[in-house]
Each structure stands twice: as structure tokens, then as C-alpha cells.
Amino acid sequence: MQTKIPEQIINTPQGKKANDILRSCVHCGFCLATCPTYQLSGNELDSPRGRIYLIKSALENNEVSQDSLQSLDQCLTCRACESTCPSGVEYGQLVDIGRELVEPNRPMWQKLYRSGVRLFLTTPMLYNTAALFFKHSSISTPEITAETTSARVLLLTGCVQPALAPNINHAAKNVLASLGVEVLETVQTECCGALEHHLSAQEKALQQIKNNIDTWSKRITSGIDAIISTASGCGVMVKDYKTLFEQNDPYYQKAALVSEKTKDIAEYLLEKDLSILNIRSNNISYHAPCTLQHGQKLPGIVEQVLARVGVQISPITDSHLCCGSAGSYSIFQPTISKQLRKNKLRHLSASNPDIIVTANIGCLVHLSSGTDIPVKHWIELLNTSKNT
């Protein structure tokens, strides 16, 4: 795609990045077929290609209408378009730049509402209190400790997850311990930055990200093999830390180290001998979070781990499509979010499963609120002789 972005914008790091990404798009339209919002509306403005044009216009002519703002707000940042694109367009990075660009045009009442939601979702005292009423799981098995250790990892506890579903990290610790992996936990008083970052609060996000990088890089240099995430929404953000800094930024090297060490729990387990593990249920339906299959580019990874412990997961219809959770999307775009959840649950329920599993706390809570079928993180189903 040809671009005519003014020199003063191209000479900024964000402007250069946006220009490079725009030029890699050949406007073939392949991405339209896998975009959830385009599938619902059939409107080009709700497609990846339409959004790319809007961002191009904003950069070239400073053209930003309320329609552009709405179109970018309605994008789930699911990155299904990236998985489909034959030209490797880094849409996720482009839409973040586009959102920052259009943000000043947002009406004041929307700014206030979004700030309030952001504050609520990132203030431990507030979300921990709310979690008391919406708690999803509690710990039901004793904690085991590794008898002999062959590796040592840092477990990202997450900010909201320990309050809403403490059994997820508990189960992960037990599985890792049973495989001889020593687990250290992060002191995580702050969000990974994902919420702020995707709500165009870049300054606040960057401060949280730098604090995390400072804390975690110290732990890495003290000798750990990997940083483990059990929430794919946090994992993708931490893996992307290195893309947020220029190579001459003092944080670049530390950010790259943290990103390179970070693995989803499924990715880490796949490197291990899992023969001592078994699973509590085999009538399972699995929802692959967008942040795992499109964001972290790990399609099929959980299915591979589950196959290694004896369960074959059949793909569901439209498994590449978002469930509508998408961070804070379900709060700001409830109509689209509910429609996507309804479609996803219809496909997940088609095989009459005993349980639905997923790999991200956001998807788990969102799907749970639309079905009577129990929804869990898949790690909670793994069992060893030591924690039955």
C-alpha cells in the first residue's frame, strides 16, 4: 500500500513503525474472512482492511471522524487478521498506534467513563472487593512441594486472577512441583500493563511495564529458566514488552530478556516428560483464547499438551474466532461481546461436554456468565499421583 504520511510524523518512532506496517498491506482482503466484527456486520469499516485505511487517513490527513473512533473501539484486538494475512501485516501494533492517534477526538463523557472503568480494573482494593462476590473457584487440594528439583521458574500470578480464580495458579504450582520444577512467585502488585495499554493510557501502562521489567529482570539474573504465565492475555502482553522500546532505550535489553524468558504454561509443559500426569475428565470442549492462538502464535498448543495426557480435543466450529471477552471489551461493547459469546458457546456445547476449558481468565469468566456448563482453566484438570 502506498502512503503519503507527512515527514514530521514519519520521523517519529511510532510514525515510522506505522508507515512500515501500512506499506506491508497489499489490501487483498483475505483478513476479512476471519474478522469477527466483519462477520457480524458485513461492513468494510468493521474489517481489518477498513480499519487500516482509517488509520492511514488519520496519519496522512489528520482525518478522524466519530465513525473512525467507533470502528477502532469495536475492534477486539483479537489479531485473527494477523493469523490470516499472507503479507505478515502486524495489525496489533498498528491498531495500538491508531488508537493513540484518535484518542484526543473522544467525547469527554466517554473519556470519563473509560477512566473510571480503568481505575476500577487496575486498583487492587476495588477489584479484590468485587471478586469476593464473583469468585469463580477456590483451592480444594493441598499444595505439594518438589522433592527434587531440575528447574526453577517464576510464576506470574496476575493481578485479577488470584482473587477471582485462585485455584488456577495453585494447580499450576502443583503440576510444576510434581515434575520437579521449583516455583517462585512474582510480587505482582500491578497489572502487566495490558488493560492500560489497550485503553490508550500509554503513559500509565509504560510505568507499570517498567516497574515489572525492573522487578522480574532482577529475578531472571538470580537464575530462573523461564517466566510462566497461566493467563494468555497477560502472557501476550509480557511477550510484547520488547516491541514497546526503541533499541537505544535503556529499557530495551531488559524488556527483551523478560519477553524472551516468558512462556505460556502449555508451552513450558510441552518440553517436559508428562507421563506422570493424567486428567480428571475426558469429555472436554476447549476454547482457544485469541491471545494464545493469534497473539502468541501458538495455535494447537493446549490440544498438544492434553493429547500427551490422553485426551484428544476435537476442533470446534469457528475455533479461530474471539469469544467476545477481549479484556475490557465486554464492558464497552456489550452487544457485540454477547453475540460473540452466544456463538462461541453454541459451538463449544455442540458435543455435550461435561466441562469447557480455556487458557485465559478473561475468557473463562466471560464464558461462565453465559452457560451452566462449568468453565475452568485446563491446568485445573491435570492430576498427578501426588495431588489426588
What is the contact surface with ligand SF4 in residues (CB under 6 A)? 25-31, 35-37, 48-49, 51, 75-81, 85, 87, 89, 91
Please identify, using beta-carbon distances, which residue of 45 and 130 lies nearer to ligand SF4: 45
Name the phi and psi angles at 5, rounded to 5: -80, 135
Output 77 or 178, the one with its CB closest to ligand SF4.
Answer: 77
| Residue type at 169 in one-letter notation | N
- Cell 469468566 belongs to which residue? 365
**Between 72 and 265, CB nearer to ligand SF4:** 72
DSSP 3-state of 287: coil
C-beta of 358: minimal distance to ligand SF4 in Å? Answer: 18
Residues 6 or more apart whose CB falls under 8 angstroms from that of 125 comprise none
Q: CB of residue 82 vs ligand SF4: minimum separation in angstroms?
A: 7
Task: Calculate ∠ Cα 185-190-192, nearest 5°.
Answer: 80
Question: What minimum distance in Å lies between the beta carbon of 32 and ligand SF4?
Answer: 7
Provide the minimum distance between the beta carbon of 109 and ligand SF4 in the complex, in angstroms, as a whole number: 24
Pick 85 or 146: Cβ nearer ligand SF4: 85
Smallest distance from ligand SF4 to CB 39, Å = 9
Distance CA 104, CA 90 (A): 24
185: helix, strand or coil: strand
Residue 25 or 257 having the CB closest to ligand SF4: 25
Nearest distance from C-beta of residue 95 to ligand SF4, angstroms:
7
User: How many Cβ atoms sit within 10 Å of the Cβ of residue 323?
Assistant: 30
Give 31 or 255: the residue with its C-beta nearer to ligand SF4: 31
CB contact at 8 A, 328 and 199: yes
Angle, CA 58 vertex, CA 337 and CA 240 arms, to 5°: 60
- 102-108 contact pairs (CB < 8 A, 24+): 102/58, 102/64, 102/68, 102/69, 102/72, 103/200, 105/64, 105/66, 105/68, 105/69, 106/69
The minimum distance between CB 92 and ligand SF4, in angstroms, equals 7
Q: How far is the CB of 294 from ligand SF4 (least distance, A)?
A: 8
Q: State in angstroms the smallest separation of the CB of 105 from ligand SF4.
A: 19
Q: Which is nearer to ligand SF4, 2 or 221 (CB)?
A: 2
Which C-beta is closer to ligand SF4: that of 90 or that of 225?
Answer: 90
Alpha helices (H) in 142-231, listed in sequence order: 161-164, 167-178, 194-198, 202-221
**What is the SS3 assignment for 80-146?**
HHHHHCCCCCCHHHHHHHHHHHHHHHCCHHHHHHHHHHHHHHHCHHHHHHHHHHHCCCCCCCCCCCC
- Cα-atom radius of gyration of the chain, to the nearest Å? 21
CB 159 within 8 A of CB 126: no
Nearer to ligand SF4 (CB atom), residue 217 or residue 337: 337
